[in-house]
Amino acid sequence: MTRALPLFAAGSLRLALTPLLNHFTQLTGIEVAAQYGPAGLLRERIEAGEPCALFASANREHPQHLLATGKATKTQTFTWNQLVLTTQKSGDWLDLLTDPALRIGTSTPGCDPSGDYTWALFDKLEQLQPGLGQQLRLRAIPLVGGRDTLSVPPGELASAWILRHGFADVFIGYAHYGKALSGQLDIRCVPIAPEHNIRCEYQLAVLENSAEVMALVEFILSHEGQAFLTSAGFLPLTSQS
């Protein structure tokens, strides 16, 4: 019996990769054992020597670091994302962020790229309104994606669960979750103006140069594989500016 390919993938990819990998296995007979988590913490596990054939990161920093240190042999951008506000409150995105009475939940910078992208958003908003970015950094509450942050129950979407349990009034996270949240009437996703939003680049890091790994990379990049990502709300690979 052949071993299953060990894949580490950012948690935000779970909804897209679960059906994608199932279909890949049906087509090729190649089994894949996926583990999901914050990409920064997954990179630490790779660097500590845990077996991983392919790493699907929510940013380019971690794959590029693995490439620079010789742990990865190739990197490849495979999809894009943006940020969105999730809330039960009314108002547009800037009203929500500038309301000092609202608690802002985020992922954890350093451990989770979603947190890093959120801090990059704060930097852009500092240019929009001097002082705003710094205020948001001080108000932001890293609730998930860290070593000792909240443990979201399996099957729950972090943003909705956080809001319903009163840990925050607004959560800044990935825009692709809007598709999964669209049927939940008590939760609304509020888009951030495109000129202020962040482009979130997802990259693969190839750690094992086997035919099976290359077949999986090729499938993820194929029209069929990309359809699973866009169906889950990710932006097409061809949408980069």
Q: Which CATH number covers residue 113? A: 3.40.190.10
**The two three-digit tokens of residue 186, written as one number:** 């008590």
Listed residue (79, 100, 58, 86) closest to 173, CA to CA? 86
Token output for 158: 């972090």
State pLDDT tens for residues 204-225. Answer: 999 999 999 999 999 999 999 9
> What's the token pair of residue 8?
């580490």
Q: Does residue 172 sit in the same domain as residue 100? A: yes
In which region does residue 14 sit, left (phi positive, over 0), alpha (psi from -120 to 50) or beta (all else)?
alpha
Tell me, what's the pLDDT at 239? 66
In a shared domain, residues 91 and 157: yes
User: 108 with 63, same domain?
Assistant: no
180, 223: one domain: no
Phi–psi pair at 68, nearest 5 degrees: -65, -30
C-alpha atoms less than 13 angstroms from C-alpha of 73 in its C-beta half-sphere: 11
Q: Does 89 share its domain with 77?
A: no
Sign (positive/negative) of CA torsion 40, 144, 152, 226? negative
pLDDT above 90: residue 169: yes
Q: Is there a single domain that holds both residue 167 and residue 178?
A: yes
Query: Is residue 96 domain-shared with residue 181, that is, in the same domain?
Result: yes
Residue 17 near residue 202 (C-beta atoms within 8 A): no
- pLDDT band for position 98 (cuts 50, 70, 90): very high
| Rounded mean pLDDT, 44-61 | 98
Phi-psi region of 7 (alpha: psi -120 to 50; beta: other; left: phi over 0): beta
Last residue of a domain, one of 172, 191, 210: 191
Q: How many CA atoms lie within 13 A of 103 on its CB side?
A: 12
The pLDDT of residue 1: 54
Domain count, the chain: 2
Rounded Cα–Cα distance for residues 212 and 141 (Å): 41
Between helices 14-28 and 223-231, what is the axis angle to 10°? 150
Domain span including residue 36: 5-81+200-239
- Report the pLDDT averaged over residues 101-122: 98
184 and 87 in one domain? yes
For residue range 123-157, list pLDDT tens digits in order.
999 999 999 999 999 999 999 999 999 999 999 99
What is d(CA 148, CA 230) in angstroms, rounded to the nearest whole number?
A: 32
Among 173, 191, 209, where does a domain finish?
191
Question: What's the burial of 229, exposed, middle or buried (CB within 10 Å: 0-12/13-18/19+)?
Answer: buried
Same structural domain for residues 73 and 38? yes
8 forms beta bridges with: 35, 55
> Do residues 110 and 174 share a domain?
yes
Specify whether 110 is located in the same domain as 183: yes
Are 62 and 74 in a shared domain?
Answer: yes
State pLDDT tens for residues 181-201. 998 899 999 999 999 999 999
